[in-house]
A and B are shown apart, each in its own frame.
Chain A
């Protein structure tokens, strides 16, 4: 009797991993040779292969069962959870009440989310900025052009592609960039400076400015961007923004815990110059996010700023 198609497919899937190990690709002579060596070294190959096959099959099947059990358990949990999205929402407790009813008086911004992430939980957001900084640093470490990471061939290919880009400019991209670039920069700056009044803030505005810079790099080539945003400017802006942010947060914590008077006025809620430290922090965060976005892009593409 012939097994049905789905059964053979399932069998193939379950055994797929072990089969790959058992039959290395024909063109790769060195792998075959060394695999045989390992097998001889560790004992009879037949027993080892069947054991690894068994382990692989059992682990694959148990993984599927685990996923399914997890799905069922979490669905049960959701079914027994109190109903959300209605008036009886349990998350509307005294924490939310305090933030909503006194947040504007205590901090001065009409955007309550900005109040929370930049003042009440400002230290937490500072840690988040540090995570972003660390991410950019790790990407630079891994992808920067150094002698381990780049061969002469890569460099020649990069040079050729740069030369071709300079010789044949992409006219549609250049024209669109001429129109879009000022709008993007202006809108980014608007979102950045109105973070305490409307949705947005440092992270959204910074991403927009970073996107505008990536567009400029694509349309006019990297040399154009290097005239105003090179290595020195990048490091100065990034570190400067982070240090400025840290200083502001430390000052606010110190003043708040000692009951001193804050030199940043709260102002009238709803006006542009209000809400104390939120506006300067938003600008610092926005600059850092813009730098990070552009650095991510340019290091992934060419390995240098």
Chain B
């Protein structure tokens, strides 16, 4: 496959490409930030990337949302989009909210004890209080 063909394919799957970029941005933020709060925000970026990926994989441009407006007519797969990814994303969003709240609560407790959000400082102070 030539390079141009590759770029053309990326243009067709551009929503997925955007999701991949968002995911890697979140991963970089998770690895290179020392601040715990920023780490949690990066995790949210990764969540958003996964949701975008799932949603755009389930959709078909031109089809209707999976809510039947006319119950008397038999619903057909030619008219509506796939409802399964929407359900999965809904589940994921709720779990991500719970996770964020839990992480922020842990961060708040750490801040109250060590008066810093920097993960290195926290580990250093923790080791000090353990050993000496």
Q: Quick check: B108 and A135 within 8 Å, CB to CB?
A: no
How many residues of chain B are within 8 Å of chain A by beta carbon? 60
- In the bound complex, residues from chain A placing their C-beta under 8 Å from that of B21 are 71
Contact of A117 with B90 in the complex, beta carbons under 8 Å: yes
Q: Which residue of chain B is the closest to A20 with respect to CB atoms?
A: B120
The complex places the Cα of A113 from the Cα of B120 at a distance, in Å, of 45
Q: Is A113 in contact with B95, judged by CB distance below 8 angstroms?
A: no
Report which residue of A37, A84, A269 has the largest number of chain B beta carbons within 10 angstroms of its beta carbon.
A84
Interchain CB contact under 8 A, A104 and B16:
no
Asked whether, in the complex, the Cβ of B87 is within 8 Å of the Cβ of A121, the reply is yes
Which partner residue on chain A sits nearest B67 by CB separation?
A: A111
Say whether chain A's binding surface is mostly helix, strand, loop, or mixed.
helix
Give the distance in Å from the alpha carbon of A21 to the alpha carbon of B9 in the complex.
Answer: 47
Is A96 an interface position by the 8 A CB rule? yes
Contact, CB under 8 Å: A296 / B101: yes
Q: A234 near B: Cβ within 8 Å? A: no
B95 x A100 contact (CB < 8 A): no
Q: With A85-B56, A101-B74 in contact, do A143 and B15 touch (Cβ < 8 Å)?
A: no
CB-based contact B24/A71 at 8 Å? yes
Name the distance in Å between A204's Cβ and chain B's nearest Cβ. 9
Contact B68 A99 (CB under 8 A): no
With a cutoff of 8 Å between Cβ atoms, the chain A residues found around residue B75 in the complex are 100-101, 103-104
Instruction: Verify A84–B13 contact, CB threshold 8 A.
Output: yes
Residues of B within 8 A of A227 (CB): none
Q: Does A11 contact B (CB under 8 A)?
A: no
In the complex, 16 of the A-B residue pairs with CB atoms within 8 angstroms, ordered by the A residue number, are: A17-B120, A21-B124, A63-B32, A79-B10, A84-B15, A84-B59, A85-B60, A87-B60, A92-B60, A95-B84, A100-B82, A101-B76, A128-B94, A139-B102, A142-B102, A299-B105
The 4 closest A-B pairs by CB, nearest first: A135-B98, A112-B66, A112-B83, A96-B82
Interface residues of B (CB under 8 A from A): 6, 9-10, 12-13, 15-17, 20-21, 23-24, 27-28, 31-32, 56-61, 65-69, 71, 74-77, 80, 82-87, 90-91, 93-95, 97-99, 101-102, 104-106, 108-109, 112, 120, 124, 128, 131-132
